[in-house]
Amino acid sequence: MIVLGINAYHGDAAACLVRDGRLVAAAEEERFRRLKHWAGFPSQAIRWCLEEAGATLADVSHVAVNQDAKANLWRKLGFVARRRPELGLILDRVRNKRERMGIAETLEAEMGERFTGEVHAVEHHLAHLGSAYLVSPFDHAVAVSVDGFGDFASAAWGTGRAGHVELDDKVYFPHSLGIFYQALTQFLGFPHYGDEYKVMGLAPYGQPIYLEQMREIVKTGPDGRFELDLAYFRHATEKVEYEWESGEPTVGTLFTAQMEQLLGPRRDPAALLEQRHRDMARSIQAMYEEAFFHLLNALAKRYRLDRLALAGGCAMNSVANGKIYRQTPFREVYVQAAAGDAGGAVGAAFIAWSRIAAAKAPGATSRFAMDHADWGPAFTDEAIGRLIEARRGQLEALGCVAEHVPDAPALCRRTAAAIADGKVVGWFQGRMEWGPRALGNRSILGDPRRADMKDILNSKIKRRESFRPFAPSILREAVGAWFELDHDVPFMMQVFPIRPEQRARIPAVTHVDGTGRLQTVHRETNPLYYELIGAFEALTGVPMVLNTSFNENEPVVCRPEEAFDCFARTRMDVLVLGGWHISRPS
Ligand SMILES: [Fe+2]
């Protein structure tokens, strides 16, 4: 039985396909459309998922979408009656909902096929909880979702047990930690959808001297709850311009003039970063963590469980996630590869599947655990060989040599030597990663030991803000020797302190506060990448490489064509495409 899961008309539109309770394929639409965070109906991702499964729309018996127009209706009506927001705000939301009601019709129109299956509208936060717990290795755990908004709520929690999720309570519109973080990200002059990670990267350069002001904006309350002081925000009373249709999502200004009275003038995106902005970034992050741990500690006390499955856009805050072990009683944390809205496609599909399975065979507990992110498209060496043939002229013009190295250990040794030699290596292998992080399949790799590696990467390819850190991929067994915590982080969703005595050995992946956003690489789930890092360790004594996503101001590359073009237009030194090794003359 096939369940198609969809995240549509939110940022990071995505699709996945679940067959008999097991994930078969999952991908974000942005990778196909080549537009970051693409929002709309994910028709290309759906088409690819069906193709990967060898199925057509006629084979799909259930479609699950992470949105339920009927959810929280009384809350919405109550809000309108009490606060009388500008009519456009509500009309806009109704219009948006109407578009989502016709999922079956849209699917048929986009695919050009009949759909006779059933549509499951799964409430947004229930889908988030499902996207965390239902694909986690846990039998019994607390599940928590924290985001901007979805279905009129911004946070939810409950428990998962024996393959079923129980949602207990929520934080409703207009209160939202995601909106708090997003509004202040705009305030600091980072206007794009998804820019919050820049504030997170900037935070360690400052001091939390604005924390008292932040506590004016966010109030923590009883039972782990939180509220916003709405005087600082526009979204509850005015129409904030959101665009979720067929393109890069955009969000209008979320904060009011009163925010400037509290914090001083907002930063213009073109203005230089001052210490005041760094201090503000640190204070924003500190406030987020305060409210987040306030919630998690209340839930740990309430449920008396020490396992936590986490999702929602805020679950992308890897700095806060990395502190959970020290700030709360939780002893095991699971955050899946696409913790944000894209992951809602997986959550909706597994919620639908768990209901279908329970109806068919009550008490059945067959579980699926997502322990790797390899759910996207893959390409054979033959297909890559044809591409190289087609680009022969371009390769010659660049003076590049392309060789096929079918022996994997030899390819790994050669690539490791190039990395150790200070080269910037594009590493394209196997299935594209599900979720925003490159995890060794669509990655650009460098030497973590070189203090100048960050500048080299930024000058050759990335051209990103100098304050943003690069991340290490480390062999799982080596984590304890290099980091102060020793846990699995397969999806780069937690930042841990690096052991002080090791920091100077790996300056390129050590952030200014001595931390690293690590990816733990496991032999069982990523054998080739494990072998490559092992080869690098054999040469250097360092069991990790610097890993950044394979792209240049665009979505992470999906097809070998995009990887090749990125290599050709930047100053990348080496490109490894499957078994093909291409090097540029130095
Ligand atoms: Fe969400």
- pLDDT attached to residue 503: 98
* Number of domains making up the chain: 3
Same domain? 387 vs 506: yes
Residues of the chain with pLDDT under 50: 87, 91, 94-95, 97-98
- Please give the distance, rounded to the nearest whole angstrom, from the Cα atom of residue 312 to the centre of ligand 1: 5
Establish if 479 belongs to a structural domain.
yes
Same domain, 24 and 67: yes
Whether residue 245 is found in the same domain as residue 286: yes
State the CATH number of the domain containing residue 507: 3.90.870.20
What pLDDT sits at residue 239? 78
Residues 432 and 389 in one domain: yes
Ligand 1 centroid, distance to 498 Cα (angstroms): 31
H helical segments located in 376-446: 381-390, 392-398, 408-420
- Indicate whether 166 belongs to any domain: no
Task: Give 148 Cα–ligand 1 centroid separation in angstroms.
Answer: 6
* Torsion angle of C-alpha atoms 140, 144, 150, 154, degrees rounded to 10: 150
Predicted confidence (pLDDT) per residue in 165-177, tens digit: 999 999 999 999 9
pLDDT for 338 equals: 98
- Whether 171 is covered by a domain: the verdict is no
Residues 509 and 454 in one domain: yes
Residue 56, pLDDT score: 95
Same domain for 122 and 107?
yes
Q: 39 CA distance to ligand 1 centroid (A)?
A: 13
Assess whether 191 and 227 both reside in one domain. Answer: yes
Q: Could you tell me if residue 466 is inside a domain?
A: yes
How far apart are the CA of 389 and the centre of ligand 1, in A?
A: 44
Q: Tell me the pLDDT of the chain averaged across its residues.
A: 94
From 360, 395, 410, the end of a domain falls on: 360
Ligand 1 center to residue 171 CA distance, Å?
13
In this prediction, what percent of the chain has a pLDDT beyond 70? 95
Domain carrying residue 64: 2-135+338-360
For ligand 1, the distance from its centroid to the CA atom of residue 159, given in whole angstroms, is 18
| 227 and 85, same domain (yes or no) | no
The enclosing domain of 35 has a CATH number of 3.30.420.40
DSSP state of 230: G
56 alpha carbon to ligand 1 midpoint, in Å? 29
- Give a yes or no: residue 469 inside a domain: yes
Ligand 1 centroid distance, CA of 88 (Å)? 22
Distance 411 CA to ligand 1 centre (A): 41
> How much distance in Å is there from the Cα of 112 to the middle of ligand 1?
29
d(CA 166, ligand 1 centre) in Å: 18
Please indicate, yes or no, if residue 208 is contained in any of the structural domains.
yes
Q: Of 301, 335, 369, which one is at a domain's C-terminal end?
A: 335
- 15 alpha carbon to ligand 1 midpoint, in Å? 15
Based on the fold, state whether residues 206 and 74 are members of the same structural domain: no
CA of 145 to the centre of ligand 1 (A): 8
The Å distance, Cα 313 to ligand 1 centre, comes to 6
Are 431 and 502 within one domain? yes
235 in any annotated domain: yes
What is the CA(415)–ligand 1 centre distance, in A? 39
Q: What share of the chain is helix, strand, coil (3-state, %, to 5)?
A: 40, 20, 40
Summarize pLDDT for 69-80 with one digit per residue, the tens.
777 677 777 776
Q: Are residues 349 and 407 in the same domain?
A: no
pTM of the model: 0.95
- What CA–CA distance (Å, rounded) separates 586 from 572? 10
123 CA to centre of ligand 1 in angstroms: 10
Q: What is the pLDDT of residue 98?
A: 47
Query: Residue 580, SS3?
Result: strand
Tell me, in angstroms, the distance from the centre of ligand 1 to residue 286's CA.
22
Asked if residue 236 and residue 124 are part of one domain, the reply reads no
For ligand 1, the distance from its centroid to the CA atom of residue 572, given in whole angstroms, is 36
- Å from CA of 207 to ligand 1 middle: 30
Residue 373 domain-assigned? no
Measured CA distances, 411 to 242, 378, 429, 556, 583 (Å): 47, 18, 12, 23, 13
Ligand 1 centre to CA of 40 (Å) is 15
pLDDT value of residue 330: 98
Q: Which residue has the tokens 């959101």?
A: 242
**Quick one: 304 exposed, middle or buried, by C-beta within 10 A (0-12, 13-18, 19+)?**
exposed
Contact, 18 vs 353, CB < 8 A?
yes
Cα-atom radius of gyration of the chain, to the nearest Å?
23
